[in-house]
């Protein structure tokens, strides 16, 4: 604890994003790219001498980041030591510092009575400085075990598992069905929130450290699991939860209704391959866009659609608008279910003059013309009573739209790989394996991340990637 009275003296102040009117002109990161060290030192001083630092507990940080320690080190201008502490628990703080919603801040003890410490800002600043100063370098593995591990899927869980297993001396090959490494980090999160140069920089470090990556290989289709087992001593499935939740209402087959992840992937791929936004039928240019479903993915769709030149953007949410402050049934240190304005919402406010979110709306049907093209949809307002959803008679409404993006979460991993490997599934359709064990029903095949636990956060994927690496190491030894 650097300054005993810091939490009394200084108010919370987050680092600013780039100005909305500027960032909407490009797909560059929303972050300014600079960090005011004097400001961050002051914010680090707000960290209290907590008896129990809930920020690094299970309710806060899944990977148990040593948050009070590196807050104190930043306050004392010991940035390289702060980086060392950060990397002890987090393989990729440059990812979490950008995209994690920061459950640690929701569990900050200071947050009981005052705004929480700006943990996420400080984390990002530490790792950014580490790269700027050249403190983060490839590592050399001195002793190799002779064991080989195949990892299927190159998202954050797969990358974390690969990083840990390589450090333990095992030879690791990561297989990815797409044309670039990163999984969700590459194609599921748009460039303005996580620059692809940031992902590539980490992948290059891992390659230079001895990890092999193989793209355009769809295990379970291009090559069987049995074939891999002949060449590898263990296999890890980290394929994510890519089976999106659909909306099976009338005229769902209308041309112009798309899954959010397909839309985001298409635009990012166009940017990387061609240097410009997607100009296919998926483009929002000149269209009335409706995003059905909130969350981070919905926000990313809003921001992407505005940059593509959408005529209008509306975001439907089934639930009611959250309160500004915690409700009585949502006490600290649980994640605060409160009203937030994310970057996409602020951009819509700037572009169109209003918050894009419309609450308590249920889509009843899509509308299409004689050629099958989407022209709009119909909705009805709903309310919740004792957990039961009820439609409100007389609130039916028709909306014009030529592009609808479904952003309602994910239900499970795709099952062709589990069918090929003949592994058991749990009652939600995820690959069945106990947390901390990660062993599937087949000997030598392990699983971790969203494909095991269900749709979750990048930081949970990193936690499970580290966990499965330890379990596989025990198995191999």
- Identify which of 66, 96, 95 has the alpha carbon closest to the alpha carbon of residue 81: 66
Give dist(CA 464, CA 62) in Å, integer. Answer: 9
Instruction: Delimit the CATH 1.10.1060.10 region(s) of the chain.
Output: 6-132
Predicted confidence (pLDDT) at residue 180 exceeds the cutoff of 70:
yes
For domain 6-132, the CATH architecture is: Orthogonal Bundle (1.10)
pLDDT of residue 20: 98
Instruction: Delimit the CATH 3.50.50.60 region(s) of the chain.
Output: 148-242+411-476, 246-408
> In the block, which residue shows the tokens 């798309």?
258
Give percent of the chain with pLDDT exceeding 90.
97
> What does the pLDDT look like over 332-349, one tens digit per residue?
999 999 999 999 999 999
For residues 255 and 142, the model is more confident at: 255
> What does the pLDDT look like over 110-139, one tens digit per residue?
999 999 999 999 999 999 999 999 999 999
> What does the pLDDT look like over 181-236, one tens digit per residue?
999 999 999 999 999 999 999 999 999 999 999 999 999 999 999 999 999 999 99
Predicted confidence (pLDDT) at residue 2 exceeds the cutoff of 80:
no
> What does the pLDDT look like over 283-330, one tens digit per residue?
999 999 999 999 999 999 999 999 999 999 999 999 999 999 999 999
Mean pLDDT of 89-93: 98
Q: Give the DSSP letter of residue 220.
A: T
Predicted confidence (pLDDT) at residue 387 exceeds the cutoff of 90:
no
3-state secondary structure of 272: helix
Vertex 164: Cα angle to 268 and 296 (nearest 5): 35
Task: Compute the half-sphere exposure of residue 191: CA atoms within 13 Å on the CB side of its CA.
Answer: 20
pLDDT of residue 210: 97
Give dist(CA 330, CA 349) in Å, integer. Answer: 28
Alpha-helical segments (H) within 275-368: 295-308, 343-352
Instruction: Give 135-185 as a 3 state SS string.
Output: CCCCCCCCCCCCCEEEEECCCHHHHHHHHHHHHCCCEEEEECCCCCCCCHH
pLDDT of residue 316: 98
Residues 6+ apart with CB under 8 A from 477: 145
The secondary structure element, H or E, covering residue 127 is helix 119-132
pLDDT of residue 259: 98
Gyration radius of the chain over CA positions:
23
Predicted confidence (pLDDT) at residue 377 exceeds the cutoff of 80:
yes
pLDDT of residue 58: 76
- Identify which of 256, 312, 267 has the alpha carbon closest to the alpha carbon of residue 286: 312
> What does the pLDDT look like over 34-48, one tens digit per residue?
999 999 999 999 999
Alpha-helical segments (H) within 243-392: 260-274, 295-308, 343-352
3-state secondary structure of 12: coil
> What does the pLDDT look like over 405-439, one tens digit per residue?
999 999 999 999 999 999 999 999 999 999 999 99
Strand partners, 398: 378
pLDDT of residue 57: 86
For residues 51 and 203, the model is more confident at: 203
Predicted confidence (pLDDT) at residue 403 exceeds the cutoff of 70:
yes
CB neighbours (10 Å) of residue 463? 25
Q: What confidence category does residue 1 fall into, taking pLDDT thresholds of 50, 70 and 90?
A: low
Strand partners, 445: 235
Give dist(CA 182, CA 188) in Å, integer. Answer: 9
Homologous superfamily of 246-408 in CATH? FAD/NAD(P)-binding domain (3.50.50.60)
Give pTM, 2 decimals. 0.96
Judge whether 277 and 300 are in contact, CB under 8 Å. no
The mean pLDDT of the chain is 97
Token duo for residue 169:
């001396």
Residues 6+ apart with CB under 8 A from 58: none
Which CATH number applies to 148-242+411-476?
3.50.50.60
């Amino acid at each position: 604890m650097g300054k005993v009275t810091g939490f009394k003296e200084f108010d919370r102040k987050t680092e600013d994003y780039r100005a909305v009117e500027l960032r909407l002109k490009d797909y560059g990161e929303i972050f300014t790219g600079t960090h005011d060290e004097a400001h961050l030192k002051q914010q680090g001083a707000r960290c209290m001498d907590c008896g129990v630092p809930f920020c690094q507990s299970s309710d806060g940080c899944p990977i148990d980041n040593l948050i009070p320690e590196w807050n104190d080190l930043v306050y004392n201008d010991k940035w390289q030591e702060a980086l060392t502490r950060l990397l002890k628990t987090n393989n990729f703080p440059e990812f979490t510092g950008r995209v994690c919603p920061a459950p640690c801040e929701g569990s900050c003890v200071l947050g009981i009575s005052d705004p929480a410490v700006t943990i996420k800002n400080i984390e990002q600043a530490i790792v950014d400085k580490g790269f700027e100063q050249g403190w983060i370098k490839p590592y050399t593995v001195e002793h190799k075990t002779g064991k080989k591990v195949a990892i299927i899927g190159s998202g954050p869980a797969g990358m974390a598992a690969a990083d840990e297993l390589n450090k333990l001396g095992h030879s690791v090959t990561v297989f990815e069905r797409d044309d670039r490494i990163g999984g969700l980090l590459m194609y599921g999160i748009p460039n303005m929130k996580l620059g692809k140069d940031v992902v590539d920089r980490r992948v290059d470090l891992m390659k230079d450290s001895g990890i092999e990556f193989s793209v355009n290989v769809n295990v379970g289709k291009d090559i069987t699991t049995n074939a891999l087992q002949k060449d590898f001593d263990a296999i890890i499935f980290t394929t994510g939860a890519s089976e999106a939740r659909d909306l099976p209402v009338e005229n769902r087959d209308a041309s112009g209704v798309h899954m959010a992840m397909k839309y985001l992937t298409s635009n990012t791929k166009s940017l990387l391959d061609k240097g410009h936004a997607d100009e296919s039928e998926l483009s929002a240019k000149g269209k009335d866009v409706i995003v059905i479903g909130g969350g981070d993915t919905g926000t990313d769709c809003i921001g992407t659609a505005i940059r593509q030149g959408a005529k209008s953007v509306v975001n439907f949410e089934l639930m009611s608008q959250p309160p500004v402050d915690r409700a009585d049934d949502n006490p600290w240190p649980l994640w605060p279910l409160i009203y937030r304005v994310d970057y996409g919402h602020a951009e819509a406010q700037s572009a169109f003059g209003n918050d894009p979110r419309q609450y308590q709306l249920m889509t009843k049907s899509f509308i299409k013309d004689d050629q099958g093209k989407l022209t709009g949809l119909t909705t009805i307002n709903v309310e919740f009573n004792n957990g039961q959803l009820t439609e409100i008679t007389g609130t039916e409404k028709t909306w014009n739209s030529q592009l609808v993006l479904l952003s309602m979460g994910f239900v499970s991993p795709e099952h062709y790989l589990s069918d090929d490997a003949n592994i058991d599934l749990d009652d939600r359709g995820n690959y069945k394996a106990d947390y901390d064990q990660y062993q599937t029903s087949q000997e030598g095949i392990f699983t971790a991340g969203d494909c095991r636990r269900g749709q979750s956060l990048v930081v949970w994927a990193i936690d499970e990637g580290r966990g499965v690496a330890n379990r596989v190491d025990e198995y191999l030894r």
